[in-house]
Amino acid sequence: MIETDNLVREITTGKGYVVIPDVLTREEAKEARSLVLHHTKLEREKGKVFHHENKERLCGLIYKGTIFEKIVQHPQVLAIIEKILGTDIILGGFSAHIIYQNATRMGNHVDYPYWAMPAPFPSQPILEVQTIWLVEDFTENNGAPLFAPDTQKLGTWPDVEKFDKIAQKITGKAGSVIISHGLCWHDTSENVTPTPRVSLLGNYTPSFIHPLEENLYDLNTDAIDRATPQLKKLLRHSLKTQEKPFFDIHNKHLYQSPVTS
């Protein structure tokens, strides 16, 4: 509990991010990376992978392997996130980011929902916590992320010159996770190696925030059948896939409508 509290303080009132090593085993990280590259190839052939300047994004990740189901509800990580956002949270997005050789920087930014809002951004309540899962070693040369410490306290869009002066490159071993405040300025760095660099990106928000990604994208019903109550809550499946009767007070009649909020 003490360690969790210290990590929460570092994310909220300290640098704005923490790196926790050995959350996954190297074998689990290797499995996740292999699945990402496998499914990216399949989805690319279907035209379903977002590609931009030697970078690719694979969505619908939760349904592409049981290892991903495990990762998004990892108890050590969720304990930290729930301390920050409260227990009524959803998984706003979960995707893989692949950075190939000669990929340029993505561009420094804050995370959703902040980038969809006008600045200055509210300091409270905190609206998003991001996880970046290292499914391989992040090095100085393969596109490790850049974070500008303490910038979550500013509540503003990133200042390019300031970012370049203070940003720190976050390296680490496969199996680690970076947890960051959604307002902390960050970016990717260049991958100057011949090997694709893969990460998993989790976006956690309070339940009142509209999700960044459609969590029914590439729905696999087997994954829902075996999902824990916690995972179903994170994915909002109990709300999005059931139809329940509502009493419409304005029209004074009973009708069937999908629950969406």
Range of the domain at 178: 2-258
Tens digit of pLDDT for each residue in 48-58?
A: 787 778 899 99
With beta carbons less than 8 A apart as the criterion, state whether 184 and 151 touch: yes
User: Residue 176 pLDDT > 60, yes or no?
Assistant: yes
Identity (one letter) of the amino acid at 41? K
**Range of weakest confidence among 45-54, 100-109, 144-153:** 45-54
**H-run or E-run covering 80:** helix 75-85
Q: In 3-state terms, what secondary structure has residue 204?
A: strand
Six-digit token string for 119: 């600045």
3-state SS of 100-134 is CCCCCCCCCECCCCHHHCCCCCCCCCCCCEEEEEE
With beta carbons less than 8 A apart as the criterion, state whether 143 and 170 touch: no
Residue 226: CB atoms within 10 Å:
10
The reported pTM is 0.88
> 45 burial class (0-12, 13-18, 19+ CB within 10 angstroms)?
exposed
With beta carbons less than 8 A apart as the criterion, state whether 68 and 200 touch: yes
Provide the pLDDT for residue 103. 86
Tens digit of pLDDT for each residue in 199-246?
A: 999 999 999 999 988 776 777 778 778 888 888 888 887 655 443 433
Residue in the block written with tokens 């999005």: 240
Provide the pLDDT for residue 260. 34
Q: Which residues pair with 129 in a beta bridge?
A: 181, 204
User: Residue 129 pLDDT > 90, yes or no?
Assistant: yes
> 147 burial class (0-12, 13-18, 19+ CB within 10 angstroms)?
buried
Backbone Cα Rg of the chain: 19
Provide the pLDDT for residue 252. 38
Say how many domains are in the chain.
1
Provide the pLDDT for residue 41. 92
Length of the chain: 261
Whichever domain contains 244, its CATH number is 2.60.120.620
User: Taking each helix axis from N to C terminus, what angle separates 75-85 and 2-12, rounded to the nearest 10 degrees?
Assistant: 50
